[in-house]
């Protein structure tokens, strides 16, 4: 929750940079809905229960100990024309893209 909490706490800054945050969850709809409500997450969360998005972007985590539909943590910045302007995929789910890096990438879109 730490990372999502950081995004939640800086959500205004994303808005100031004309960015929309969308998280993709491999969990079931009800579990995702409860999680979003419990932690007060203001951004939309897409439910990818069948892992369609995970497979499309080749984010399937093939690391043996956690082979249970857990995608690699990934951050994409897509411009208004649908072009990917920034992408970072982490192999280790414990490490996420730093918010500073995301904000710098967003500022460089203009």
pTM of the full structure? 0.77
| Residuewise pLDDT in 10s, the chain (110 residues) | 567 889 999 999 999 999 999 888 888 999 999 999 999 999 999 998 888 887 787 777 666 555 555 677 788 888 888 888 898 888 777 788 999 999 999 998 86
**Cβ-based neighbours of 86, under 8 Å, separated by 6 or more:** 75, 76, 77, 102, 105
Phi, psi of 78 (to 5 degrees): -120, 130
Residue among 72, 46, 68 at smallest CA distance from 57:
72
Whether residue 97 contacts residue 88, with contact meaning beta carbons closer than 8 Å, is answered with yes
- Which CATH number characterizes residue 91's domain? 3.40.30.10
In the chain, the number of structural domains is 1
Q: Write out the H or E segment, with its range, that includes residue 45.
A: strand 45-47
Q: Identify the pLDDT of residue 64.
A: 56
The domain of 54 spans 2-107
């Amino acid at each position: 929750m730490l990372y999502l909490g950081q995004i939640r706490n800086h959500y205004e800054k994303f808005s100031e940079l004309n960015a929309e945050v969308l998280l993709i969850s491999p969990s079931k709809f009800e579990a995702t809905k409860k999680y979003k409500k419990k932690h007060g997450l203001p951004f939309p969360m897409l439910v990818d229960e069948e892992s369609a998005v995970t497979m499309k972007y080749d984010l399937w985590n093939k690391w043996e100990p956690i082979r249970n539909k857990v995608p690699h943590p990934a951050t994409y910045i897509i411009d208004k024309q649908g072009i990917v302007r920034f992408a970072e995929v982490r192999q280790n789910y414990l490490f996420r893209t730093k918010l500073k890096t995301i904000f710098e990438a967003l500022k460089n879109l203009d």
